């Protein structure tokens, strides 16, 4: 297990994601799936030619999701997409983290079919900062 120190902005985004995960209006179907006892463990990731994120799990499964689910990854360069690492949160859930993109993708979200919950306003602000920075 590797513990990393995360920037404050990442911690804030992760805490917001956790709050949204427990949002009372979320269907019971997804809430029950999200509380499985054995959490998926990430062994590697890749990207397909047809704009899909490919996440390889330790148990041998490969999960493919459209990059459009994660707009920051969709707008990233090849080099930025390859600069990722996995860390565990306090509940031992694997989180894929792209520091240069400030993007967090929980492995469980991939399995439950939950895309990024970033608002369009937040994405546009991030894109603007990228273009100017």
- pLDDT tens per residue across span 60-81: 999 999 999 999 999 999 999 9
pTM summary value: 0.73
Where residue 38 falls (left for φ over 0; alpha for ψ -120 to 50; beta otherwise) is: beta
Q: Which fold has domain 8-132?
A: NE0471 N-terminal domain-like (3.30.2020)
Mean pLDDT calculated for residue range 43-57: 95
Domain spans in the chain, listed from the N-terminal domain onward: 8-132
Q: Order of strands across the sheet with 62-66?
A: 42-47, 52-57, 62-66
Quote the percentage of the chain above a pLDDT of 70: 71
């Amino acid at each position: 297990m590797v513990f990393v120190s995360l920037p404050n902005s990442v911690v804030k985004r992760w805490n917001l994601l956790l709050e949204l995960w427990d949002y009372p209006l979320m269907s019971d179907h997804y809430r029950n799936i999200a509380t499985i006892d054995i959490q998926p463990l990430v062994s590697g990731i890749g990207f397909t030619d047809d704009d899909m994120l490919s996440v390889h799990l330790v148990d041998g499964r490969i999960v493919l999701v459209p990059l459009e689910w994660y707009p920051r990854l969709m707008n990233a360069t090849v080099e930025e997409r390859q600069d990722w690492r996995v860390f565990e949160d306090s509940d031992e859930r694997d989180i894929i983290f792209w520091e240069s993109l400030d993007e967090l993708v929980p492995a469980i979200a991939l399995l439950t079919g939950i895309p990024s919950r970033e608002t369009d306003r937040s994405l546009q602000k991030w894109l603007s900062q990228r273009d100017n920075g």
